[in-house]
Amino acid sequence: MIADQPKKSQNNYLSEYKFYTAGKWRSSHEAIDVVFPYENSIIAKVFLAQPTDVEAAISSAVKAFEITKKFSSFERSEILKKVACALKQNKENIAKILTLENGKPVKDARLEVDRAILTLTIAKEEAMRISGEVLPVDIIASTKGRFAVVKRFPIGPVAGITPFNFPLNLVCHKVAAAIAAGNPIIIRPATKTPLCALELAKIFEGITLNDKSLPEGIFSVLPCKTGVAEPLITDERIKLLTFTGSADVGWQLKNKAGKKRVTLELGGNAALIVHDDADVELAASRTSIAGFALAGQSCISVQRIYAHEKVFDEFAKKLAAKVKALVIGDPLNDKTDVASMVDVQNAQRVEQWVQLAVKEGGKLLFGGKKDKNVVSIYLPTILANVPETSNVCAKEVFGPIVVVQKYKDFKDAVKKVNNSVYGLQAGVFTKDIDKIMYAFNELDVGGVMINEVPTYRVDNQPYGGVKNSGFGREGPKYVIEEMTELKVMIVNVREP
């Protein structure tokens, strides 16, 4: 259903934003406009960092590391606790800013703020659980009387590059883990959505530890052009690069990164299997949310659905009915389920892909067009019987589209899911424990969701994928492992 259209020219201008580097707010001769996608209206101006600012951020991070690496577990935890509390106090304001810069419904923006608070809280707790081990090394006669202590140490300055679709929580995943591990971090946010990262910098600026300000350089936020950000990838003083974004860009960055560690959380075209014994009502209900929330702009948004031939018609009918009931329109309306895409160009791209899929033989079951009034909204769309080579199946749509296909044999459905260059997450609806275990063992993905959609994610899970979906895992505990170095000390205990 289409929500009432808002009055244009709402007073949503948020003013100018300087960038934050080396503990200072700075401006430059260059700035960009941040646009509210739903109205295509300017909401803020953000100054862009220049090469000298990037150098200042890296240099100050190196200096800050001399302090942060000596922080106790309690001190690291205390910083994150204070950031989480400040974010919670400012929740409604941050949620509105998130909606304005990203275009997602405000109720989803509030949920993202809640998740960011949880991410910080999880990292706060993990900061006090970074453990090592005592290792017996007296395994041969010549090592008698010796033992080893293994401990994790902070790796050094970290650079994080984040995407537009979760402009707060994905920043917090990188920042929280870095601080928990004892590392300074520099964030380069997506230029379309830099405001939440800058708001987070405001929070960090106000945090004290032992009645003192945090060290300059512990956290910098640098909206900047791609070329200007190059040192974050190539400079050897940066010890780890963590990137979330498209596969093409991610692999290019890895090739440039040299000797530093790299973690990549890239794209996907998430698949769902609905077997003949599934709870079809539940599967359709969860898919109607997971395929179209955030206008499908999530790397684990449901895209490919394989429904058993016995339940295909029932599932498709129920799904279409539930999608029809979604409220589409103004993201600042609390009732809205689906709003605009991040820009008009992406809505046009999705429209072209759907038209191509139909031309290639696919059947349009629902939707298949842009909104009449808002050109950045592409209406939720359901396709069926689309060739596996079509863009909407083979590539990452990153839009409000799902494709439903029939299958007869469960193992064949698993093969179809695996027939992809991506491997992030997959979902399976079935009550058969043998099929559940088969799917868990055979699906070539980083996460398998049983009786749940592949879009499901909890912020403490090891989250990441295989193949073109990247490598390494997010989730504070697992990122902390990447952001620390193991060091061993062997002790020779002489007998008295």
Active-site annotation holder among 39, 216, 265, 482 = 265
The pLDDT assigned to 484 comes to: 98
Structural domains in the chain, sorted by start: 16-266+472-486 (3.40.605.10), 271-458 (3.40.309.10)
The pLDDT assigned to 4 comes to: 42
Give me 274's structure tokens. 């609905």
Active-site annotation holder among 172, 224, 299, 393 = 299
Residues in the chain, pLDDT under 70: 1-11, 495-496
Known catalytic membership, residue 265: yes
The alpha carbon dihedral of 410, 415, 420, 421 has a sign of: positive
The pLDDT assigned to 386 comes to: 97
Q: Between 73-89 and 106-126, two packed helices, what is the crossing angle to 10 degrees? A: 160
Known catalytic membership, residue 205: no
The partner residues of 213 in beta bridges, in order of sequence, read 208
- The amino acid that residue 168 corresponds to is L
For residue 175, the tally of other CB atoms under 10 A from its CB is 30
Tokens 């193949």 belong to which residue?
A: 467
What's the rounded Cα separation, in Å, for the pair 348 and 345? Answer: 5
By the 8 A CB rule, do 377 and 340 touch? yes
What's the rounded Cα separation, in Å, for the pair 490 and 314? Answer: 65
What's the rounded Cα separation, in Å, for the pair 455 and 475? Answer: 16
Give me 59's structure tokens. 């240099």
Question: Rounded to whole angstroms, what are the CA distances from 44 to 194, 199, 278, 322?
Answer: 10, 13, 48, 36
The pLDDT assigned to 493 comes to: 87
Q: What is the pTM of this model?
A: 0.95
